[in-house]
Amino acid sequence: MFKIAIVEKIDEAGLKILEKHNNFEYEIIENVSKNNLIKELPKYDALTLRVAKLDSEILKHCKKLKVISRHGVGYDNVDLNFLKQNNINLLITATANAVAVAEHAMYMMLSLSKGVTYYDKAVRSGDFKKNVSKIETYELFKKEILIAGFGRIGKNLIKRCLGFEMKVFVYDPYVNKEIIESYGGKKVEDLNVAVKTIDFVSIHMPLNKETKNLIDINILKKMKKNTIIVNTARGGVINEIDLDKALKDKIIFGAGLDVFEKEPPDQSNPLLKNDRVLLSPHSSSFTKECKIRMGIETVQNIINFFENKIEKSMIVKL
Ligand SMILES: NC(=O)c1ccc[n+]([C@@H]2O[C@H](COP(=O)([O-])OP(=O)(O)OC[C@H]3O[C@@H](n4cnc5c(N)ncnc54)[C@H](O)[C@@H]3O)[C@@H](O)[C@H]2O)c1
């Protein structure tokens, strides 16, 4: 019998799979304070993980732990070196959330370019016609978008952009030209050059040493005044102070942020008061459908792991 810790609740559909299985028992751990995780986690063979941080101070107590199954695809909340050194496997829900995140990026681009928040407020406050001419709104039709990061989500987003008849450029040094062209995009080699002509940028790469602060004031200054930038990947890829400045100085038009350097962001974060920013609380993959898919896949990955039938695409190479 394997003992599974469900660290922060997942969808019932996933839990039901475990309940039907004779070889697994689970407990839900909602208190993710460091002290509680140190106290609770040592008795488990596997755990599912949402956003709680698992550093070496916690992991060094987990002597039985063989596998961590992320509810999602990012894993910057886990100490990867520790996992590697201690032969602990890391799994992701590789097929569960790309569509939801790609739709969220579309929603942010559409909302910002159509002035959705502004118009909504205007109508509610009785300004039905007066304010309409005060803001500029845009179409996606024939606009140029740069998809930065062309993995699962980038590849889902391009289909939606092409549906809106946008012209799509892709920046991803690790994906070759032929693959990008087969999806209908055009590969760009130099981010600094590419941003000079595009109207939208959507970020879909991991946060790591190479990508931290990749979008800073220098690169923002190269963009056109009407550029809308959307980040549904990880906070920190765009430098928040620089972004706030670029928006206030009207260097670019707007930004959509689902992710932040610090989550939740401090109330003093200037972006929270910047009306050129559309915000969401790291909720791109919170659609009903996606939560069910993620709950099922997170649990099924653990079962498949112990039954030696886990798919390669679900395993993170450490
Ligand atoms: N907001 C959310 O709720 C949410 C949900 C799922 C995923 N994400 C995040 O979205 C991002 C993308 O997820 P995915 O499933 O598409 O990942 P993926 O691993 O399938 O794709 C990432 C792509 O980024 C590329 N890349 C790596 N370094 C790069 C660089 N320096 N410049 C440009 N491209 C680079 C890789 O080659 C890869 O093609 C991740 O950061 C993930 O954590 C966020």
What are the tens digits of pLDDT across the range 255-277? 999 999 999 999 999 999 999 99
Nearest CA to ligand 1 atom 17: 151
**Least confident stretch, 56-65, 125-134, 309-318:** 125-134
Q: How confident is the model at residue 130 (pLDDT cuts 50, 70, 90)?
A: low
* 218 Cβ neighbours under 8 A, 6+ residues apart: none
CATH H-level, domain 98-279: superfamily: NAD(P)-binding Rossmann-like Domain (3.40.50.720)
Which is the closest atom of ligand 1 to the Cα of 174? Answer: 37
Checking if the pLDDT of 234 tops 80, the result is: yes
Checking if the pLDDT of 157 tops 80, the result is: yes
Q: Which CATH number fits domain 2-96+288-314: 3.40.50.300, 3.40.50.2000, 3.30.1360.20, 3.40.50.720?
A: 3.40.50.720
Q: How far is CA 298 from CA 13, 73, 77, 86, 256, in A?
A: 11, 10, 16, 22, 28
Indicate the average pLDDT of the chain.
Answer: 96
More confident residue, 316 or 126: 316
Neighbours of 42 (CB within 10 A): 15
Nearest CA to ligand 1 atom 29: 205
- Residue ranges per structural domain of the chain: 2-96+288-314, 98-279
For position 131, what pLDDT does the model report? 62
- In 3D space, the residue among 85, 52, 56 whose CA is nearest the CA of residue 70 turns out to be 52
User: Is the CB of 234 within 6 Å of ligand 1?
Assistant: yes
Checking if the pLDDT of 134 tops 80, the result is: no
Structure-token match 């689902």, residue found? 258
Cα 207 to middle of ligand 1, angstroms: 8
Nearest CA to ligand 1 atom 20: 151
Equal fold, 2-96+288-314 vs 98-279: yes
CB 11 within 8 A of CB 52: no
Catalytic one of 234, 240, 261, 293: 234
d(CA 112, CA 20): 46
Give yes or no: 160 in active site: no
Tokens standing for 237? 């890829």
Beta pairing partners, 48: 6, 69
The arithmetic mean of pLDDT across residues 299-310, rounded, is 98
Give yes or no: 124 in active site: no
d(CA 92, CA 72): 6
Tokens standing for 269? 């974060």
In a mutational test of the pocket of ligand 1, which residue from 107, 201, 204 has the highest number of ligand atoms less than 8 Å from its CB?
A: 204
